[in-house]
Amino acid sequence: MLAIIEVKGHQYKVNKNDIIITEKIDADEGQEIEIDKVLLYYDKNELHIGKPYLDMKLKAKVLKHFKGDKIVIFKYTPKKRYRRKRGHRQLLTKLQII
């Protein structure tokens, strides 16, 4: 099985039992969710291509929620004493395709 799915506006190429990291999804850890935005599905014999999506759903299990690496945003204007330093850590979710 091979599929291309869309989660939170990003597309992922997945196989069965793959683990993907996406932006935070509103679901509890251990909960199973259904992904209904399937763009392409290939199963050894047949290839199905959606226009834009297929009428099928894939299941995924939420493994954990966590924060990503910190990124630093530094704004600077020369000769004006203007400096702004900000940090950001994106909330992420780890999913396993079932």
Its domain, for residue 19, covers 2-97
Total domains in the chain come to 1
What's residue 90's pLDDT? 98
**52 preceded by cis ω (within 30°)?**
yes
pLDDT in tens, the chain (98 residues): 999 999 999 999 999 999 999 999 999 999 999 999 999 999 999 999 999 999 999 999 999 999 999 999 999 999 999 999 999 999 999 999 99
8 Å CB contact between 61 and 30: yes
Give me the residues paired with residue 77 across strands. Answer: 82
What one-letter code names the amino acid at 27? A
What's residue 71's pLDDT? 98
Rounded Cα distance between 52 and 1, Å, is 19
**pTM recorded for the entire structure:** 0.87
